[in-house]
Amino acid sequence: MPALPTPVSTAVHDVGGASRPWRLARLLRIRWLARLLRIALEGRHSGWTAPLLLWVGSRAVSTVLLVGVLLVGAAAGHEPEGHGGAHGLLAFSGSWDAWWYQTVAVHGYPRSVPLDHHGHVEPNAWAFLPVFPAVVRVVMAVTGLSFWGAGVVVSLFSGAGGTVVLYRLVRAVAGSRRARRATALFVFGPLGFLLQVPYAEALSLLLVAGALLALVQRRYPLVAALGAVAAFTRPGALALSVAVAVHLVAIEVRAGRSRTRGLPARRWIHRVPWTTRLGLAATGIVVAVAGLAWPFIASAVTGRPDTYLDSELAWWTGYVGHVHFVPMTPWFMLAGRWLGNGGFVLVIAVIAAAVWLLVRRSTRALGPEVVGFVAAYGVYLVAVFLPQQSLVRLLMPAAPVLGTDLFVRTRRRTVVLAVVGVVLQAIAIVLIWYIGFP
């Protein structure tokens, strides 16, 4: 049935309403941001210009916010101390756990883990994966920069690349308009500053989004390569192996439907070749092995079983004390300890909300690979992660979900959420740097 024409009165109302987000941006005295968003979201762009425009604008915003908070903190007598001779903005950017990456880049991993007087493992470098500090060390050797300067350079370039790849991934599964809007929400989001500080998040985004894009494009050797490197960059790459399995099931189902309906199609659609099946199986195995390898490497080097697990648990003691790890219990453990029975209800409600988001039609329209990865990554977070202030940061790999209608159905919604994201980013910088590390 053909769509009915939009009444004139409704169209006029929509145009007037669509201008309100731009007025909101101007009201907050960031007119240039409103103009940039208008150009990036409405103009005709290649697969590079739109995401790079958004990345450049967002880096200007994040830099202004970081410098502003640094100056206000210094005026109040809270200027962070420099690490390794770094001062000012570089020291401020690396004022939290980034210094663990510096330890790895400069000194490597310890041969034995530090213990407290009760024999418990203390926080140490084995909890941090090696790819980011290795890349930073190469940049340090080539440029002569300190770890903090080289770390910022690596994150900036990784953030730019990750922004482009995220855009192309969402465009491949949902179209250019949603890709532009989802990318805008990501780079201007509450944790957009992580795309330029010496931490592994930007590089991890580049690798994970690149692996998902390669999977959607059926470039399986590239999926294996990027997934394996991602597994040694940030935890959680095992979710990529689940996405590979979901992809195999999806192409088998499509092949079955094509045979049933007798649709004209290329041979690989009618019958999935065994070479494709074997290639996907090998890809999933490579990513899974890489995702499971680091704990064994840590134990082999230190000679202590569970070195990696005990190192991760060392960060839990301030929240839940010394505990034994049981999968699928950390969220309930923390919520129950601090909120009682209401905490259990809250965790169930959060999980239910995540399931609701994933089963929405507009989310499923992003494709089985994206939905499969995000669902598996969410299960990983619930299974092994103790939710603290780092939780929002660890949600960054789920950025493709921003392409769903819940966030980008209209231009007005996108711009309002982007402006709100900038405001929350300023609040997040204050909270993270002066109250609790991310």
Residue 15 is predicted with a pLDDT of: 36
Could you tell me which of 125, 129, 137, 131 has the C-alpha nearest to residue 100? 125
More confident residue, 262 or 49: 49
Q: Cα–Cα–Cα angle for 199, 201, 207, nearest 5°?
A: 125
Q: What angle do CA 165, 166, 171 make, to 5 degrees?
A: 95
196-216 burial: b if 16+ Cβ within 10 Å, else e = bbbbbbbbbbbbbbbbbbbbb
Give 302's contacts (C-beta < 8 A, 6+ positions apart): 110, 111, 112, 113, 126
DSSP 8-state assignment for residue 3: P
Integer Cα distance of 402 and 374 in angstroms: 11
372-379 average pLDDT score: 97
Q: What is the pLDDT of residue 71?
A: 87
How many C-beta atoms lie closer than 10 Å to residue 163's C-beta? 29
DSSP letter assigned to residue 112 = S
For residue 127, the 8-state DSSP code is G
The Cα–Cα gap between 101 and 163 comes to 23
What is the spatial distance between Cα 181 and Cα 15, in angstroms, rounded to a whole number?
Answer: 18
d(CA 41, CA 51): 10
| Cβ atoms < 10 Å from Cβ of 265 | 13
Reported as a single tens digit per residue, the pLDDT across 185-234 is: 999 999 899 999 999 999 999 999 999 999 999 999 999 999 999 999 99
pTM: predicted TM-score of the whole model, two decimal places: 0.87
Mean pLDDT of 68-92: 70
Per-residue pLDDT, averaged over 312-335, amounts to 92
CA distances from 334 to 292, 344, 383, 395 (A): 25, 9, 13, 18
**What are the sequence ranges of the domains in the chain?**
47-434
Residues across the chain: 438
Q: What is the pLDDT at residue 268?
A: 41
Buried b (16+ CB within 10 A) or exposed e, 12-27: eeeeeeeeebbebbee
Asked if 167 and 58 touch (Cβ cutoff 8 Å), the reply is: no
* 196 or 391: which leads in pLDDT: 196
Cβ density class 286-312: b for 16+ within 10 Å, e for less: bbbebbeebbeebbeebebeebbbbbb
